[in-house]
Structure 1
Amino acid sequence: MEWTASGIVLGSRKHGENDVILEVMTELHGRHQGLVRGGRSRTRQPLVQPGNELQLTWRARLQDHLGIFSIDPVRFRAAELMANPLGLHGVQHIAALLRLLPERDPHPSLFKATEVVLDNLSDCGVGAPLLIRFELELLNELGFGLDLGSCAATGTTDDLAYVSPKSGRAVSRDAGQPYHDKLLPLPDFLIDGQRQPGSELLFKDIANGFRLTRYFLSRHENWQSSPALENVRQQLILSIEKDYRQNHAWQFTED
């Protein structure tokens, strides 16, 4: 068995004295693992850092074997990602989220979304909302997709302000007002035609976006059984909050 593809490094772990088991995300082969011989060597260790993009050739005698990766560099992102807290925690968070998916299941949209997010984690005003959109796309792939296009109660597409925790559907401000304490806030940057991600985004919009996606992600059995997922996510949100307090003070509000 053999295939060749581009892959984004999610992580690696030591195997024996000099080798590593590499975990990558690919477009057509999903999240995939394989052995890299000499992966801990001086020349190869920089290649297998999270966030880097590699050209991979995977070979195995049988389809269900671990197999061996041959690797060549395509794009180095790791150094830039590790240079700031959002990049460091962001790539860890994306890797943790992708591990909710079955190994080797293809998810082309998530592969492309991973590339986009990793390329924008140097700018918190862009990277943070993209991470929330990544979580929404992951929910779609997991079968928990949200319907944010129209009000569940009236069918209107105007002034959507909430999401029903039961149905995962948007609710307009007027229809949801009597039940607002039981509904989840819907940031308007997640609504088509409303404000888009950018420098004007308030931290409370980001916090509400993460609150929304967390509620539905927590329904997944793998999320419930892994406290590490929640810990990685909390570190990510704290790094975003710190960035807003330091660099975007006028956009920070706890209201």
Structure 2
Amino acid sequence: MQWQDEGIILGVRQHGETSVIAEAMTREHGRHLGLVRGGRSRRMQPLLQPGNSVALNWRARLDQHLGNYQVEALELRAARLMETATAVYGVQAIGALLRLLPERDPHPHLFEAFGIILGHLHEPADAGELFIRFELAVLDDLGFGLDLKRCAATGATEDLAFVSPKSGRAVSRSAGQAWAGKMLVLPEFLGKTSTRAADREGLASAFRLTGYFLERHVYEPRGLQAPEARAGFIQAALKALGSAQ
């Protein structure tokens, strides 16, 4: 068995004295592991840092085996991703989200989105908004997607202001006002026709929104805790936006 693909490194763990097992999010083969012989060498270590894009050649005798990776550099971002807190935490938080998906299950749209986010992690507003949309996409791929396009009560597509914590569906301002205290806020930047960029208040509401449904549908049923990297990313992004205002 053999294939070639593009991947983004998520992490590595030591294997023996000189090798590592590399975990990458690939375009066509999903989140995939492979043994990199000599992966602890001075030449290979810089390539195998989280956030780097690499060309991968995977080979194994049988498809279910771990297999071996041959790795070549495409875009080495790791050093730049260490420059800001949003980037440091963002790479880790996205990796944690991708690990919620089944191994070797292709999600090419998430691979593309991952690459886009990596190019904006130094810009807190853009990074925060892209991260929220990535969490929404992961929820959707896990079978728990939110319906934010029309009001669950009236079918209206305008002035959507809330999300029902029970159904995960949007609710218009007029229909949901009486129960506003029990609803989750739908930030304006997530509206279907919105052209507004995310601000600090909107991002904070969006993080609460996705965090609620991740906890309810994913972390709690699996006996998991929300990753610390997510909290670190949220704190860094909101702090940066607050100081910029």
Which band: TM-score by shorter chain? over 0.9
Deviation string, structure 1 residues 111-154 (Cα, Å, up to 9, x no partner): 11111111111111111110000001111101011111111111
Q: Which amino acid aligns with 1:33?
A: L
SS at match of 1:113: helix
Q: Could you tell me how far apart the structure 1 residues matched to 2:165 and 2:108 are?
A: 28
Distance between the aligned counterparts of 1:167 and 1:123, measured in 2?
A: 33
Give the match's secondary structure for 2:166: coil
Q: Identify the residue that residue 171 of structure 1 maps to in structure 2.
A: 171
Conserved 8 A contact 2:200-2:242 = no
With over 3 angstroms needed to count, the CA separation of the structure-2 counterparts of 1:125 and 1:102, relative to structure 1, is same
List structure 1 runs of 4+ shifted beyond 3 angstroms.
Answer: 220-224
Q: Which runs of 5+ in 2 are unaligned?
A: none
Post-superposition shift, 1:161? Answer: 0.3
Counterpart amino acid of residue 149 in structure 1: K
Name the SS for the 2:70 alignment partner. strand
Structure 2 residue matching 1:100: 3-state secondary structure: coil
- Give the letter aligned to residue 118 of structure 1: L
Specify which of 223, 226, 234 is matched with residue 225 of structure 1.
223
Match of 1:240 in 2: 237
- What amino acid is aligned across from residue 20 of structure 1 in structure 2? V
TM-score, reference length from structure 2: 0.96
The CA deviation at 1:222 is 4.8
Give the fraction of aligned pairs with identical amino acids, expressed as a percent. Answer: 52
Cα deviation code 1:19-40 (max 9, x no counterpart):
1100000111000000001111
For residue 12 of structure 2, what is the aligned residue in structure 1?
Answer: 12
- Cα separation, 1, equivalents of 2:141 and 2:188: 23
Residues 87 and 121, structure 2, Cα contact 8 Å, conserved in 1: yes
Pick closer, same or farther for the CA change 1:25–1:196 going to 2, 3 Å.
farther
2:205 equivalent to 1:208: yes
Cα distance in structure 1, aligned partners of 2:242 and 2:132? 19
**Number of paired residues?**
244
Aligned to 1:148: 148
Question: Separation in 1 of the partners of 2:120 and 2:236?
Answer: 15
Counterpart CA distance in 2 for 1:234 and 1:108 is 26
State the distance in 1 between where 2:56 and 2:200 align: 39
Q: Is the 8 A contact 2:161 2:185 kept in 1?
A: yes
Displacement, 1:225?
2.1
Partner Cα distance (1:230, 1:149) in 2: 29
Q: Distance in 2 between matches of 1:12 and 1:219?
A: 30
Q: CA deviation at 1:221?
A: 4.1
Give me the whole-angstrom Cα distance separating, in 1, the residues matched to 2:19 and 2:223: 30
Question: What SS is found at the alignment partner of 1:10?
Answer: strand
Alignment of structure 1 residues 1-255 onto 2, 5 Å: 1-197=1-197, 201-222=198-219, 224-227=222-225, 229-246=226-243, 248=244, 250=245
Q: Any unmatched runs of 5+ in structure 1?
A: 251-255
Partner of 1:253: none
| Higher deviation after alignment, 113-122 or 44-53 | 113-122
Residue identity opposite 2:87 in structure 1: G
Instruction: Please state whether the residue corresponding to 1:218 is helix, strand or coil.
Output: helix
Query: Amino acid of the residue matched to residue 225 of structure 1?
Result: G
SS of residue in 1 equivalent to 2:195: coil
Write the deviation string for residues 84-119 of structure 1: whole angstroms up to 9, x where unpaired: 110000000000000000100011111111111111
Range with greater deviation from structure 2 (234-243 or 112-121) = 234-243
